[in-house]
Amino acid sequence: MVEVKNLTKHYGHVTAVNDLSFEIRDNEILGFLGPNGAGKSTTMNIIAGYLPSSEGTVTVCGHDIKEDARAAKKCIGYLPEIPPLYPDMRVEEYLRYCAGIKGVRRGEIKKEIEKAMERLQLTDMRRRLIANLSKGYKQRVGLAQAIIGDPELLILDEPTVGLDPSQVAELRNFIRELGKDHSVILSSHILGEISAVCNRVVIINKGELCAVDTIENLERKATDAAVLSLTIEGDQLAASFALEGISGIKEVKDIIDMGDGTFIFKIALEDDKVRQDIMSAMITNGINVVEMSMDKPDLEKVFLDLTRKKRSRSKSDK
């Protein structure tokens, strides 16, 4: 569907995107994740054909976005972070205008507009001025223009920004439906949004690729060792001393003082079977174990770990 190879974008001496390579498969929702300023919007603008790259190639449906831009853009529906709306136009009028720009055949325009308005629940808003719409409805109008013409690829840049929780839930459901018969690139800095709807995720930071994989695989690789949370009541020093003599413990990563004599030890394990030895050591030393559980890595931890490593490497290279 889409192939991005060695994509680079320079603004003078500043490199916004540096040697990115990844692909978007047929009928998949690909999450595009990174902190603010990571280069997400720049990359999506290049894929959509709105911005030229400095180096590298983007191929959409077999068409090079530079060499065969017209054919490539026919395959794309794009919702930028700020929807390209005209406040003084009415909803139906605006969608008709967009259909014309996209080259929808005159005899098909009405059908395409009606279908888009129905899918986004805009039928009752057709005669409303866009200026008078709520943020949620403006976002729906922006998404409606993106799906007109039934493009094979949809590029959605921060589509839920500014929406209330119920609007976010509705939009996520709609994106899931789109993913059944379209390829979707969904850019967001909201981790829960990516986890909720995406099949795979691309993580970038400072314009460079950190990871491309399924969320499940990224979570599995999140830590070099399993991490145990051990909550105890009693003497912190005695507990620390008891842990030192146990083989199979990689390190005590952190000790959190919860007050009232309660402490949480974050323990990196080399072997999951060592938990029984830890429990025995606590009992032998008269330390009350309140809770013992394995930490489950999630996308937030993956994201923080990967972007932190990228920042650390960048500093060490200077």
Instruction: Kindly list the structural domains of the chain, giving each domain's residue range(s) and its CATH number in brackets, ordered by start.
Output: 2-220 (3.40.50.300), 224-294 (3.30.70.260)
Burial classification of residue 310, based on how many CB atoms lie within 10 Å of its CB (0-12 exposed, 13-18 middle, 19 or more buried): buried
For 145-183, the pLDDT digits (tens) are 999 999 999 999 989 887 888 888 888 999 999 999 999
CB atoms within 10 A of CB 265: 21
pLDDT at 317: 53
For 38-52, the pLDDT digits (tens) are 899 999 999 999 999
Beta strand segments in 25-160, E: 29-33, 55-60, 63-64, 76-79, 153-157
pTM of the model: 0.75
DSSP SS3 for 58: strand
What's the rounded Cα separation, in Å, for the pair 119 and 182?
A: 15
pLDDT at 222: 62
For 218-260, the pLDDT digits (tens) are 877 665 557 899 999 999 999 999 999 898 898 898 899 998 8
Q: Which two tokens stand for residue 11?
A: 């603004």
β-pairing verdict for 183-188 and 29-33: parallel
